[in-house]
């Protein structure tokens, strides 16, 4: 079962959040660059947290797939290239 844990937080690099995959918590950051890309897709002037909330399901889905694929990094950084 996959689930998301912990509340997201604004960080210098973007928005920090945690996903749980297979009973393992993994700290992740969706970069400001990725959030800016997503914001442009929506066509709005949202701040980073609002953009994160708007795309939260998609962001968490990408994060989980990267964890399952064995992508390294602590925290796992999700850049704009993952959302093209």
| Contact between 77 and 26 (Cβ < 8 Å) | no
How many CB atoms are closer than 10 A to CB 79?
Answer: 15
Q: What is the pLDDT along the chain (84 residues), one digit of tens a residue?
A: 555 556 999 999 999 999 999 988 999 999 999 999 999 988 878 899 999 999 999 999 999 999 999 999 999 999 999 998
| Contact between 52 and 15 (Cβ < 8 Å) | yes
Token pair of 7, please? Answer: 């509340």
């Amino acid at each position: 079962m996959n689930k998301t844990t912990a509340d997201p937080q604004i960080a210098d690099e973007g928005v920090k959040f945690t996903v749980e995959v297979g009973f393992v918590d993994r700290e992740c950051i969706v970069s400001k660059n990725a959030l800016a890309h997503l914001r442009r897709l929506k066509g709005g002037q949202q701040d980073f947290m609002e953009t994160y909330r708007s795309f939260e399901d998609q962001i968490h889905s990408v994060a989980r797939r990267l964890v399952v694929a064995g992508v390294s990094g602590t925290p796992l950084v999700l850049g704009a290239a993952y959302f093209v």
